[in-house]
Amino acid sequence: MKYSRAYFLEFVGRLREIFHMEETCEFFLRLGLVFQDLFEQYRFLYGERVNWQEHLFRLCCLLGEAYQGRDEFLKGIDREREKNPLWFFDRNMVGYVIYVDRWAKDVKSILKHRDYLHEMGVTFLHLMPCFDVPEGENDGGYAVRDYYTLRDGLGTCDDLKEVAEILKKEGIFLMVDVVVNHTSSDHLWAKKAKEGESFYEDFYYFFPDRVVPDEFEKTMPEIFPETSPGNFTYVPEVKKWVMTVFHRYQWDLNYTNPYVLYEMVKIILHLANGGADILRLDAIPYLWKRLGTSCQNEPEVHRLIQIFKACVSVVAPGVLFVAEAIVQPKEILKYFGEGESVGKECDLTYNASGMVCLWEALATRQVRLLTRTTCSQPHLPSMVSWLNYLRCHDDIGLGFDDEDVMAVGYSPREHRRFLVDFYLGNFPGSWARGLPFMSNPKNGDVRISGTLASLAGLEKALESEKSEEVEMAVGRILLLFKVLFSFRGVPLVYYGDEIGNLNDYRFREREEEASDSRWVHRPWMDWEKAKKRKNKKTIEGRIFQDVVLLIHKRSELPVLWPVASQNILDSGNESVFAYLRSTETQALLVLANFSDKTQLVSERLLGRIGMEFPLRDVISGREVVVVDGYIVLVPYACLWLVEAC
């Protein structure tokens, strides 16, 4: 069966009978733009099923329903964004991540604290998953029981929609999670599967015995080896094994079944119609499993994302996708779409390699790996962008590219060992206070939990009561923020980091959290502490006010927005990370000293990039100090330099 225009027109005819829409309406125009792609993807993924075209038709019906159900306010926004597809990237966007309950109490109470968001200059808000989950362990919301209901105590989907509309009108967009890879073992589909309904058994990967699971285990890594070793869980109700890559209570969805895809598209469109501007596709690399592989980043995953994207572009073209793909640097890139598919997958992806290299540079006081890793990131087209971040709700996994690590002169194994020791505070001279996450004795892997401030040394410094150490810790925190807000991409701040929140060890006393050290950096927002942000003499005030200043400066300087280009430079000093941001009319040089010693950068660097003295640091407003032909950078200084005249 080959694709033809006549085939499309036949579909349009059938859909018109159901939805009574003109052939020339925007729905069909948009569908026409993506239909051939949808057709090809469906044929590729499901072509072996005799009725695959009926599945495709069902999908199109779903699009029709969702389009008709989308309200006029959101449709108006879609139309504006269609006219300006760069709406998100050609300006200053700053994200902020919260747990609704821990930050505000419930969805409606977000509004009570929105002045705080405006004060910071936040323009989009990531709500950690707020959908219905079972009591007790639920992986911080990532084991969803019902995607159409909010979690107990958070309010209703209508509340969420109302809040989204109010925030949007005030210039704050909403990002929500779509947990695409798995559901809770308490989800209705899982329950029906447990009751033996074969239709729902097909929603997951069930195996009658250990034969196939054992084959899979040979090549699949373990994500949560401490709490959920292996990738399969025995289900006594049906006496079978089900695939559970994450926790035993998170069942992996089976996308070889087109009914699963249909249901997930329905959920995605429901969230889009509920007012979300950005959808974060959780654990996206895991969507397709193949024997003999790690079951990550399989080519079919990209086809599935393209289907999701095509569907959204018909119903809600204003909605963006973020890939949560914390994988090897060269794999991460593919989530933007490759070659002809750029723009047909995710608009943003987490810059996990950039993030982990920043921490690596702080510990080693050297920028070799950071420079190499960020240099090898290609120049992205302007319609996609990195989502840059320092910390998030998850652990830090040392997912470097081994080749890069070796190229800069380290042994990957020993270097990881060093970094883990360093951030767990076990290395002599370490300032950090991290906790181990998911140590895996089989391969020596350990990941790291902890807040930005505790990992950067503030916790230890405050305990030592030595003011020089506190200064150094604050210096590190501000250095990281200065890089975050000047590096090409969209910056994302994790709640509490803006006021220097320390680790909160009380999770150890809560049964459902105790075995997961990530809870150490998922605080209950302390609004009394947050009040100290107004006082520049407090640490909260110093960090918060500088963050605000940086966001403010960034918004005044289009050269720092995502569309402006970036070149990573060799500063000639192994502790100084350097990059040039530029547009046709402006250039801004960033020099970041990752060491606790004063560092010098030769003025010859300026000649190479065509910049001239005098230079002014836009953060402090002061002219840069030059001594004997060298720019002077005090410990942890980060300068944003522009030509002064």
Within a 13 Å sphere around the CA of 60, how many CA atoms are in the beta-carbon half?
A: 30
Contact 309, 321 (CB under 8 A): yes
Nearer to ligand OTU, 233 or 566 (CB): 233
Nearer to ligand OTU, 85 or 140 (CB): 140
Q: How far apart are CA 234 and CA 237, in angstroms?
A: 9
Contact 94, 551 (CB under 8 A): yes
Pairing relation of β-strands 587-593 and 638-643?
A: antiparallel
Nearer to ligand OTU, 187 or 532 (CB): 187
Residue in 101, 201, 282, 347 annotated catalytic: 282
| Angle at 385 (CA atoms; ends 381, 387), nearest 5 degrees | 165
Q: How far apart are CA 275 and CA 157, in angstroms?
A: 10
Residue with tokens 């990531």: 126
Backbone angles phi, psi at 36, to 5 degrees: -60, -40
First to last CA, the chain: 66
Nearer to ligand OTU, 275 or 285 (CB): 285
- CB of 443: closest distance to ligand OTU in angstroms? 15
Q: Which residues is 601 bridged to in the sheet?
A: 631
Nearer to ligand OTU, 493 or 642 (CB): 493
Contact 15, 7 (CB under 8 A): no
- CB of 378: closest distance to ligand OTU in angstroms? 20
- CB of 214: closest distance to ligand OTU in angstroms? 23
Contact 425, 212 (CB under 8 A): no
Nearer to ligand OTU, 246 or 577 (CB): 246
Q: 3-state SS string over 542-593? A: HHHHHHHHHHHHHHHCHHHCCCCEEEEECCCCCCEEEEEEECCCCEEEEEEE
- CB of 394: closest distance to ligand OTU in angstroms? 5
Q: Which residues is 177 bridged to in the sheet?
A: 280
Nearer to ligand OTU, 134 or 140 (CB): 140
Contacts with 20 (C-beta within 8 Å, 6 or more apart), sequence order: none
Q: How far apart are CA 2 and CA 219, in angstroms?
A: 37
201 is an active site residue: no
For the chain, the 3-state helix, strand and coil shares in percent, each to the nearest 5, are 45, 15, 40
Pairing relation of β-strands 232-235 and 240-243?
A: antiparallel
Residue in 132, 252, 324, 498 annotated catalytic: 324
- Which H or E run includes 182? strand 182-184
- Given the rule CB under 6 A, which residues bind ligand OTU? 139-140, 142, 179, 223, 246, 282-283, 285, 324-327, 393-395
Nearer to ligand OTU, 452 or 588 (CB): 452
Q: Which residues is 235 bridged to in the sheet?
A: 240
574 is an active site residue: no
Contact 182, 283 (CB under 8 A): yes
- CB of 513: closest distance to ligand OTU in angstroms? 13
Please state, in angstroms and as integers, the Cα–Cα distance from residue 621 to each residue in 48, 263, 518, 645, following that order.
65, 54, 39, 13
Nearer to ligand OTU, 59 or 245 (CB): 245
- CB of 417: closest distance to ligand OTU in angstroms? 20
- How many Cβ atoms are within 10 Å of 113's Cβ, its own excluded? 15
- CB of 64: closest distance to ligand OTU in angstroms? 31
- CB of 115: closest distance to ligand OTU in angstroms? 29
- CB of 223: closest distance to ligand OTU in angstroms? 5
- CB of 247: closest distance to ligand OTU in angstroms? 8
Q: Which residues is 567 bridged to in the sheet?
A: 580
Long-range pairs for 15-22: beta carbons < 8 A, 24 or more residues apart: 15/60, 15/61, 15/64, 18/61, 18/64, 19/64, 19/65, 19/68, 21/64
Nearer to ligand OTU, 137 or 394 (CB): 394
- CB of 415: closest distance to ligand OTU in angstroms? 20
- Which H or E run includes 436? strand 435-440
In the chain, the amino acid numbered 91 is R
Q: How far apart are CA 550 and CA 322, in angstroms?
A: 24
Nearer to ligand OTU, 360 or 617 (CB): 360
- Residues catalogued as catalytic: 282, 324
